[in-house]
C-alpha cells in the first residue's frame, strides 16, 4: 500500500510540474542542404583533351612570380561538379602568399572538365592537385 501511495504521489507531482511549465513551441532547426560529393568514382573526372592539354593550360596561364626564390608545390583542393565546372577551390598546403594566390587564380578560371561518373551518372568529385613553382 505504501508503494502504491508513493507511486501515485510521484505521478501527481509530475502532472502538476508538467502543467505549470509553459508550453514552448518546438524548436525550428534549419538544415543546410549540402550537395554530396565523392572522393573517388568509377570513372574519375578528366581535363578535356587529357593530361597534355592540362599541362599546356598551366604553362599558358601560370604567371611568373615576383619573388624568383619561391619554390615548392602548392596543393589545391577543389570540386569538379556534375556539369564539369570547378568550384570550392582552396589551398590545402601553401608555399607563399603570392604562389598560393596564383595557383588559386589559375584553378578557379579553368575550363569545364569531363565530370566523374558513378553508376552511369555524373557526380561531384573532390579533387586535389599540386602546382609546382
Residue-wise pLDDT tens digits, 19-44:
444 444 444 444 444 566 666 668 89
Query: In the chain, what are the domain boundaries?
Result: 36-132
pLDDT value of position 26: 43
pLDDT at 113: 96
- Helices and strands (H and E) in the chain: how many: 3, 5
Query: Quick one: which H or E segment has residue 126?
Result: strand 125-132
- Does residue 80 contact residue 45 with C-beta atoms inside 8 Å? yes
Find cell 565523392 and name the residue: 38
pTM score, whole prediction: 0.68
Cβ neighbourhood burial of 68 (10 Å; 0-12, 13-18, 19+): exposed
Residue 49 pLDDT > 90: yes
pLDDT higher for 70 or 6?
70
DSSP, collapsed to helix, strand or coil, labels residue 43 as: strand
Do residues 65 and 100 make contact, with C-beta atoms less than 8 angstroms apart?
Answer: no
**Per CATH, which fold does 36-132 belong to?**
3.30.1150
Distance of CA 41 to the CA centre of its chain: 16
pLDDT at 9 over 80: no
Amino acid at each position: 500500500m505504501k508503494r502504491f501511495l508513493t507511486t501515485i504521489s510521484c505521478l501527481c507531482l509530475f502532472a502538476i510540474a508538467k502543467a505549470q511549465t509553459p508550453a514552448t513551441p518546438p524548436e525550428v532547426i534549419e538544415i543546410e542542404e549540402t550537395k554530396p560529393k565523392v572522393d573517388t568514382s568509377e570513372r574519375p573526372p578528366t581535363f578535356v583533351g587529357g593530361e597534355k592539354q592540362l599541362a599546356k593550360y598551366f604553362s599558358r596561364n601560370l604567371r611568373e612570380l615576383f619573388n624568383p626564390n619561391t619554390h615548392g608545390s602548392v596543393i589545391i583542393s577543389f570540386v569538379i561538379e556534375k556539369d564539369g565546372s570547378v568550384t570550392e577551390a582552396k589551398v590545402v598546403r601553401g608555399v607563399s602568399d603570392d604562389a598560393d594566390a596564383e595557383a588559386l587564380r589559375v584553378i578557379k578560371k579553368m575550363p569545364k572538365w569531363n565530370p566523374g561518373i558513378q553508376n552511369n551518372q555524373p557526380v561531384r568529385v573532390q579533387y586535389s592537385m599540386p602546382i609546382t613553382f
